[in-house]
Amino acid sequence: MTEGDDRVVTTEVVTGTEPQQLNAEGGHGAVPLEGVATQQAPQAAAARDWPLWEVFVRAKRGLSHVHVGSLHAPDAAMAVRNARDLYTRRQEGVSIWVMPAEHITATSPDEKDAFFDPAADKIYRHPTFYSVPEGVKHL
């Protein structure tokens, strides 16, 4: 399963009362639950379940933080610590960001065509029609 796959992996039930519920079970990043089919929550998903956090890791100085996955934690401080154990134990990073998955507003798989298809056939948006004179540097 790749990033942007239409399938939604979730173990929670949509209540429908919140404007935008997000989930990233399975480590595929925050995906909206609204308007898409979801599975029934397993019995074990009880009140002790912790909120979901998205984890971003900076591999080394000068690079930007990259989304690496998600995890559960009771609060932000524990989320950073869990992220350290889950995603950087083999020296993958020098800095970690975490953020509550519910604070991410994501595009919906339903909107994929409207959002992304129009860009597909506009090759003139790419600067490929200019011939570059020889000897021009730093272009």
Partner 1 sequence: MPTSTRHLATAPSNADVSRYALRLGDDALISAQRMGEWIAAAPQLEEDVALGNIALDLLGQARALLTYAGQLEGAGRDEDDLAYLRDERQFLNAQIFELGNGDFGFTVARLLVTSTYQHALYAGLRHSADSTLAAIAAKAVKEVDYHRDHATQWTLRLGDGTAESHRRMQQGVDAVWPYVSELFESDALTTALAASGVAVDPNSLEEQVLVYVEQVLTEATLTRPEATVRHTGGRSGIHTEQFGYVLAEMQHLARSHPGAKW
Q: How far is the CB of 129 from partner 1 (least distance, A)?
A: 52
Minimum CB separation from partner 1 for residue 81, in Å?
7
Which residues have a Cβ under 8 Å from the Cβ of 84 and sit 6 or more positions away?
96
Nearer to partner 1, 78 or 104 (CB): 78
- Smallest distance from the beta carbon of 50 to partner 1, in angstroms? 7
Please state the length of the chain.
139
Name the residue nearer to partner 1 (CB basis): 48 or 125: 48
69: left (phi over 0), alpha (psi -120 to 50) or beta: left
Interacting residue ranges for partner 1, rule: CB under 8 A: 48, 50, 71-75, 77-78, 81-82, 85-86, 89
The residue among 32 and 96 lying less far from partner 1, judged by its C-beta, is 96
